[in-house]
Amino acid sequence: MRKYWPAVIAASFSLSTLATAQDATQAGAKTAAAEVSVGTAVADRTLSGAAESFPAGTEKLYCFARISNAEGSEIDFVWYKGDAEQARVKQTVKFSPHRTWSSKTLPADAAGDWRCDVVQGEKVLQSVKFTVQ
């Protein structure tokens, strides 16, 4: 039995080293991120009319996002007026970086504080706030 102790100790050391290496690999994993803004139009995959405030009578707004490190996953654009969810749009991220957008046709009573969250699973990647006058 004594001649096997060095092997047992070596195996134990190897397992703890392997666990540490896996933790380091997981810690180095890329985290999904998003750059988000709201505007009045999207043309040629570019947002235009970006602002923090929009006049009454604006019919439609676009939430434009540049998503990184999320390829092969799904994201949601979640539109809120105040704290009340108004719409949720699910999209698949196919590559990184990925440019995508969601649009929201505004109701007649759109005046107030709004936000659009870009969400992956339960995690909000980025949120943009804006006001409709």
- E strand or H helix that includes residue 6: helix 5-27
- The 10s digit of each residue's pLDDT in 62-112 is 999 999 999 999 999 999 999 999 999 999 999 999 999 999 999 999 999
The CATH H-level superfamily of 33-132 is: Macroglobulin (MG2) domain (2.60.40.1930)
Q: Where are the domains of the chain?
A: 1-29, 33-132
- The 10s digit of each residue's pLDDT in 11-63 is 444 434 334 334 433 445 689 999 999 999 999 999 999 999 999 999 999 99
**Cβ count near 126 (within 10 Å):** 18
pTM beyond 0.85: the answer is no
The radius of gyration computed from the CA coordinates of the chain, to the nearest angstrom, equals 23
